[in-house]
Amino acid sequence: MSDDEPHPRWIDRVVGVAGALGMNRVRVRWKLVRWANARRASARRREQAIEHVKYEHAVCPQCHAVNARDEAVCTRCGAAMHSRPRELLGRLGFGRISSTIALAIVIFACYVRTALAGHDWLNMTSATLAAHGANLPRGFADDEWWRYLTSTLLHVGMWHIAFNLLALAVVGPRVERAYGALGMPLVFVVTGVVASIASQVTGLSGTAAGASGALMGLMGAIAADGHRSGTTIGRAERNAMLRWAAYTMLVGFAIGADNRAHLGGFLAGIAIGVAIPRDVQARRAGRIAINTLGAIASIAIVAAAVLVMTPPRDTAVAGTTEDMLKDVISCRISNSMDGKDGGACARIDVLRARCTGRVPGFLADGAPRDQCTMLLQIDAAGASGD
């Protein structure tokens, strides 16, 4: 209610009672008028929302231009118009969940899965990550190509996933605006896989996990697209993404993160931003191509999440660990029988040297951390006579 509108009579009555009780009449009246104004404004917003739902014209989901109800595509940008029921749901606030939110939910679910498997919510061991799909050095699990994508859904600790989810919340919607709802998962998958491959072929020495490479790819795509647009808004987005990318690289150097994956993903994103213009969504053929490939990428993300939730038992990690246990047993039997150390003991000596000589937190020559932990435990048990 505005100042020129009459106040409800009940306000004067309440103010009179408050004054009789010794309260400040002016303050009580001011608070009651403000509350009444807020109530009336809320009622007006509800009336406008109802009128908005009844609005007979269609609004383009891409450029928000007003179109006639019978238009199948937007007369301004050519995007497909939504059906009447879907548009009404959107006006009522029941629109679709963005692909950014859906991806964040998947990433968090994978973190919960590994936390439960490793019995630690703050830090994940290399063994847990390797068992659930982390990227591994060359020559160790080359046939398990799915690790290039599953590793982008895993994180090594609470701080790691928190930073990446924050970055996803910042850059994800920008990619959706540029390339559509299905374009975002497409760019995420392509750049994430490229980042994983770049990390592995340039000398990855341990387990690698995290969405940072893919997120750098999203940043690179928006930076390149903003630069080529030549507009003020485009240049602002380019500069913002470059700052985020620089910050990610600096943090990577500070904490020893895999900057090779960061750089590989960023360069892949730049290539996508240069190759695919923002206005591809305005052309029917380009929109169909982006949506089709994006749907395939979304299915790949779901499949990768399933592999994280239920990792195959016949992975390289499980098989190598089983072989090492057989070698340990064979060597123990050989020693107990005063026999000569055979190939089993030689292999254990090599593995022991790798484990004890490795840098903490990393792996040497592709030796999985779970093997090192198991070997050291067996050594301790043997020394104590257990």
pLDDT of residue 338: 47
Q: Angle, to 10 degrees, between the axis of helix 25-54 and the axis of helix 9-20?
A: 150
8 Å CB contact between 199 and 192:
no
pLDDT of residue 38: 83
The 10s digit of each residue's pLDDT in 138-169 is 777 778 899 999 999 999 999 999 999 999 99
pLDDT of residue 28: 84
Q: How buried is 129 (Cβ within 10 angstroms: 0-12 exposed, 13-18 middle, 19+ buried)?
A: buried
8 Å CB contact between 214 and 175:
no
8 Å CB contact between 181 and 189:
no
Q: Which tokens is 382 given?
A: 């043997």
Q: In which residue ranges of the chain is pLDDT below 50?
A: 1-4, 93, 337-339, 341, 357-368, 376-386
Per DSSP, the three-state class of 73 is strand
With respect to CATH, is domain 99-309 assigned 1.10.3720.10? no
8 Å CB contact between 242 and 223:
yes
End-to-end CA distance of the chain: 83
pLDDT of residue 1: 46
pLDDT of residue 4: 47
d(CA 82, CA 4): 43
pLDDT of residue 21: 83
8 Å CB contact between 222 and 237:
yes
Per DSSP, the three-state class of 80 is strand
Note the pTM of the prediction, 2 decimals: 0.65
Kindly give, in sequence order, each residue whose CB lies less than 8 Å from that of residue 191, ignoring residues fewer than 6 positions away.
213, 214, 216, 217, 218, 220, 221, 265, 268, 269, 272
Distances in Å between the alpha carbon of 289 and those of 62, 100, 220, 301? 17, 20, 21, 18
Looking at the chain, which runs of residues are DSSP E strands?
A: 58-59, 66-67
Structural domain boundaries of the chain? Answer: 1-48, 55-95, 99-309, 316-384
Distance of CA 128 to the CA centre of its chain: 19
Phi-psi region of 203 (alpha: psi -120 to 50; beta: other; left: phi over 0): left
8 Å CB contact between 363 and 369:
yes
pLDDT of residue 61: 67
Q: Which residues pair with 66 in a beta bridge?
A: 59
d(CA 134, CA 129): 5
